């Protein structure tokens, strides 16, 4: 597959995933929506491994990698599906755009990586300002949206922690193996959560909900992840990072256009601050190096 095609594929999948998450919970509840998605994704990954004649590694480093990946797949995505009940789909993508910043902070603490350059500190400050702009009015009004924002922020922390943990483990495994192991780790946990807190099979599922679950299981949980690792391997990191800037803008437009989501001015202003902060955090160190010469 051409790298450019995979790159465009990632942007399209990541931009449409937030809205698909909201649609997948229609008529069935978010617990069944996320469980069915992960189960489908796990089955597809197992089928791919079988077709390729490969076995899932079960050595110690592999199991640690599945546990670390499972933290992101289970903990993070459970928070996302719960929070999606309360906030517009586009805002999910914007808030998840904070992942590079949060990952950098966690890596600085646990891996000793340098994250606190002047431009990156300014980027972090802009990101926090954006959150405050989005939060401020809703704190006064007691808006339920605040719970959705808090849920996504927790998801970002769990997702970032999972990524740093994976890097620290350093297991040399393919993207398909890590994806399969992580899904196999998380799918039984999703089943238990659904069984305990819901346990009811849906009787009337809308076509849109079924389509969203299939889309997320095939594209969101499998193809998107595989294409991301493919692009990361064949393209410089700075160009790959552009995905996190393009997808939130596209996701806001898609949610507004196809789900009639109304976004207040404070959401737009807060999103602009967050995206500006991401831009500074990603490419600010190059400016620091240029001006220090």
* Inter-residue contact 35 to 189 (CB < 8 Å): no
What is the percent of the chain with per-residue pLDDT over 90, rounded to a whole number? 36
C-beta of residue 40 within 8 angstroms of C-beta of residue 218: yes
Q: For residue 254, is pLDDT > 60?
A: yes
DSSP letters spanning 78-126: HHHHHHTTTS-HHHHHHHHTTHHHHHHHHHHHHT------HHHHHHHHH
pLDDT digits (tens, 9 = 90+) for 268-280: 888 888 888 888 8
**Alpha-carbon distances of 118 from 113, 123, 243, rounded to whole Å:** 15, 9, 24
The CA distance from 155 to 95, in Å, is 10
Of 248 and 41, the structure prediction assigns the larger pLDDT to 41
Q: How confident is the model at residue 31 (pLDDT cuts 50, 70, 90)?
A: very high
Tokens of 212: 């969203």
What mean pLDDT comes out for the span 13-30?
A: 92
Report the distance separating Cα 282 and Cα 172, nearest Å.
26
More confident: 54 or 99: 54
Q: What pLDDT is stored for residue 275 in this prediction?
A: 85
Q: How confident is the model at residue 115 (pLDDT cuts 50, 70, 90)?
A: low
Greater confidence, 101 or 111? 101
User: How many Å separate Cα 167 from the centre of its chain?
Assistant: 17
Ranges 30-34, 42-46, 195-199, 237-241: which has the least confidence: 237-241
pLDDT in tens, 183-239: 999 999 999 999 999 888 888 889 999 999 999 999 998 898 788 877 766 776 556
Q: Residue 79's closest CA among 202, 234, 211, 190? A: 190
Q: Catalogue the long-range contacts made by 238-244 (C-beta closer than 8 Å, 24 or more residues apart).
A: 238/282, 238/283, 239/7, 240/7, 241/100, 241/282, 243/7, 243/10, 243/11, 243/14, 244/97, 244/99, 244/100, 244/278, 244/282
User: Would the pLDDT of 110 be above 90?
Assistant: no
Ranking 75-89, 128-142, 204-218, 244-258 by mean pLDDT, the lowest is 128-142
pLDDT of residue 280: 82
pLDDT at residue 140, rounded to an integer: 58
Q: What is the pLDDT of residue 67?
A: 93
Looking at residue 237, what is its pLDDT? 56
- What average pLDDT score do residues 130-140 get? 72
Where does residue 265 rank: exposed (0-12), middle (13-18), buried (19+ CB within 10 A)? exposed
> What's the pTM value of the predicted model, to 2 decimals?
0.87
Predicted pLDDT at 102: 86
- Break the chain into its structural domains and give their ranges: 3-287
């Amino acid at each position: 597959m051409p790298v450019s095609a995979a790159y465009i594929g990632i942007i399209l999948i990541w931009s449409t995933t937030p809205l698909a998450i909201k649609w997948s919970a229609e008529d069935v509840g978010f617990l069944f929506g996320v469980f069915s998605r992960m189960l489908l994704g796990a089955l597809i990954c197992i089928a791919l491994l079988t077709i390729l004649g490969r076995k899932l590694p079960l050595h110690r480093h592999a199991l640690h990698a599945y546990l670390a990946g499972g933290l992101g797949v289970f903990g993070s995505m459970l928070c996302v599906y719960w929070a999606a009940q309360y906030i517009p789909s586009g805002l999910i993508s914007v808030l998840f755009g904070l992942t590079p910043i949060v990952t950098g902070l966690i890596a600085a603490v646990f891996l000793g990586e340098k994250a606190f350059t002047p431009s990156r500190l300014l980027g972090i400050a802009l990101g926090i300002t954006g959150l405050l702009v989005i939060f401020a009015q809703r704190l006064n009004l007691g808006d339920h949206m605040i719970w959705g924002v808090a849920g996504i922020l927790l998801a970002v922390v769990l997702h970032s922690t999972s990524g740093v943990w994976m890097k620290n483990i350093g297991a040399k495994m393919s993207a398909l193996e890590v994806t399969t192991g992580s899904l196999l780790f998380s799918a039984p946990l999703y089943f238990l959560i659904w069984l305990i807190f819901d346990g009811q099979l849906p009787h009337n599922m809308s076509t849109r909900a079924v389509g969203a679950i299939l889309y997320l299981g095939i594209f969101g949980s499998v193809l998107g992840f595989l294409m991301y690792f493919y692009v990361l391997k064949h393209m410089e990191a700075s160009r790959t990072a552009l995905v996190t800037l393009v997808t939130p803008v596209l996701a806001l437009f898609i949610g507004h256009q196809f789900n009639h989501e109304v976004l207040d001015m404070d959401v737009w202003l807060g999103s602009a601050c967050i995206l500006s902060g991401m831009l500074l955090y990603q490419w600010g160190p190059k400016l620091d190096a240029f001006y220090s010469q």
